[in-house]
Amino acid sequence: MNSMKVFVGLLNWNRCDDLRRLIKSVLKDLSGQSNYNFEVAVIDNASTDKSIQMLDLEFPDLKKIINNTNLGGSGGFNTVLRYAATQGFDFAWLLDNDAEVLPGAFQGLMFSMESDQKIALVGSKVLHRDDSSIISELGAKISAFSTFPIPQFSNIPNLDLKAQIIDVDYVAICSALVRVSLLNTFGALDERFFLMWDDMEWGMRIRNHGYRVVATSLSEVVHPGFSERTLSPLFVYYAWRNHLYFIAVTYSGIRRIFYLCYISGLLHAAKINAQYVNKNFPFVKAYNLAFRDFCEAKFGKMDRSIEAFSCAGSGDLFKDKDIEALFGTNNVVLLSADRSVAVVKLTIDVLKGRFPNTRFIILVNYSRKYLFRWYNHNDLWIRKGIFRDFYLYKQMKINKVKSIFIFENVPIKILFSLTKNQLTVSNTGEIIKVSNFRLYNGFSLWANISLRRFIGMVNGFIMILSKIFMNPNFFRNLAKSRKLI
């Protein structure tokens, strides 16, 4: 009996060190497995760093497929799928360059795949790179109400899960095994996404064709935590534009109209918040471009510049001596920890080193509480439940919190009559500057922001509905112009 052919495609773009780590982990995991006929290749998205030189020097026998331009995640992985389909492979293992394979990862994927012929796509359990004892996600569902992703088993200890093979709506393609023979049925990734939401749409499309998408706890990879990504204007652009496109091509009828109105409303409300509260104008531009490009059916790689603008808040800038005064005169300071846990930890270390007599309280969302288990329990406040802000306000009064500090690029979530400042923090935890926001009393700030968000929601509803009614063939044209291998 001929052994099954498996193509292992490692997608890379300008991550030389990460790619080296991934290659070594893959080769180690595949060594000694004689039941399968493997071909391992690096698919490079026109990297401009030393990735190709590193491959030539350290892995000269490894196959390389080099794209002429950066095709993004969807286009790069489609290079893997097309090669696997044309060369007669039975399975393709898709791996992103910032993943690291743990021993037994491939066997776990293949065992799960072979358990049911209706399984078309299997994803690994993803562990946090900073702390591999914590699960980042084990596949994810798409909310039937909001269409936002709901990661499964996210940010919890990595335990021996009873349900080892779990049906989900999609799996992250940082490590996923696909049955190549079915590609002619449901197609490859949609390259219009370029980045983000491509794996979500692919998973939903596979399920809509009657096949199963599963995540397995038998296969583990290490990857930067999905909940720990730092927001940027570019991230905002792809996240919102592609979310709208995902809805347009995944749903139909009244559900599609409802979801588009809802997400469009949220987009415009977020834009209002960035413009009038955070005064973060690169983000405002990103929101505008995301909505405009969706309405004009401009997809793929963004052809405009957003990152050229500074991402700092536009409030009054403080000098270093003023930072000293702000922290030095406040015995209790609350920090909203919406940046990655690594950056928050570095920032806390820097602050405590400079201001040892100040008490620093960290505020985190409930879904991320386990990531901050290293911090003093009494100084870790958790946001949870519909009345969380009222509880928080009470705790602030009891603990005599004098200042709230909010990390850069994060919407203000605390609406109380206290001084609010914004930290600009580097990735090494260094405080670059502090911006002071306009001071409201608690109710007027809440009313002001709520009104603007309501206006943004209404504006979003009207704009998306007008687009649909002015161009009744909009969705039909989107469907006709899609290329899925």
| DSSP codes joined into one string, 8-21 | EEEEESS-HHHHHH
As a whole number of angstroms, the distance between CA 228 and CA 30 comes to: 30
pTM score, two decimals? 0.86
Helix 16-30 crosses helix 51-58 at what angle (to 10 degrees)? 40
Residue 197 predicted with pLDDT over 90 = yes
pLDDT of residue 396: 72
* Rounded average pLDDT over 451-464: 76
Residue 310 predicted with pLDDT over 70 = no
As a whole number of angstroms, the distance between CA 366 and CA 360 comes to: 19
pLDDT of residue 389: 59
Residue 303 predicted with pLDDT over 70 = yes
3-state secondary structure (DSSP) of residue 120: strand
Identify which of 107-116, 127-136, 230-239, 384-393 has the greatest average pLDDT: 107-116
pLDDT of residue 479: 77
| Burial annotation 421-439 (CB, 10 A radius, 16+ → b, else e) | bbbbbeeebebebbbbbee
As a whole number of angstroms, the distance between CA 191 and CA 4 comes to: 28
As a whole number of angstroms, the distance between CA 338 and CA 406 comes to: 8
**Pairing mode of beta strands 100-101, 212-223:** antiparallel
* Domains defined along the chain, listed by start: 4-228 (3.90.550.60), 233-303+445-480 (no CATH), 316-436 (3.40.50)
Give 311-338 as a 3 state SS string: CCCCCEECCHHHHHHHHHCCCEEEEECC
Mind listing the pLDDT tens digit for each residue in 422-444? 555 555 555 555 554 443 444 45
As a whole number of angstroms, the distance between CA 225 and CA 154 comes to: 10
Quick one: tokens of 144? 């039937």
430 vs 484 pLDDT, higher one: 484
411 vs 258 pLDDT, higher one: 258
Q: What percent of the chain has pLDDT over 90?
A: 46
Cβ-contact 43, 11 below 8 angstroms: yes
Q: How confident is the model at residue 419 (pLDDT cuts 50, 70, 90)?
A: very low
| Burial annotation 144-177 (CB, 10 A radius, 16+ → b, else e) | eeebebebbbbbeebeebeebbbebbbbbbbbbb
pLDDT of residue 64: 95
307 vs 36 pLDDT, higher one: 36
Q: How confident is the model at residue 205 (pLDDT cuts 50, 70, 90)?
A: very high
Q: How confident is the model at residue 318 (pLDDT cuts 50, 70, 90)?
A: very low
Cβ-contact 41, 18 below 8 angstroms: no
Q: How confident is the model at residue 402 (pLDDT cuts 50, 70, 90)?
A: low
pLDDT of residue 477: 79
* Rounded average pLDDT over 138-151: 94
Residue with tokens 């969302």: 365
113 vs 261 pLDDT, higher one: 113
Q: At 22, which amino acid appears?
A: L
pLDDT of residue 481: 72
pLDDT of residue 393: 66
In this structure, of 226-235, 245-254, 329-338, 432-441, the range with the lowest mean pLDDT score is: 432-441
Instruction: Locate all alpha helices (DSSP H) within 6-154, ordered by sequence.
Output: 16-30, 51-58, 72-86, 105-114
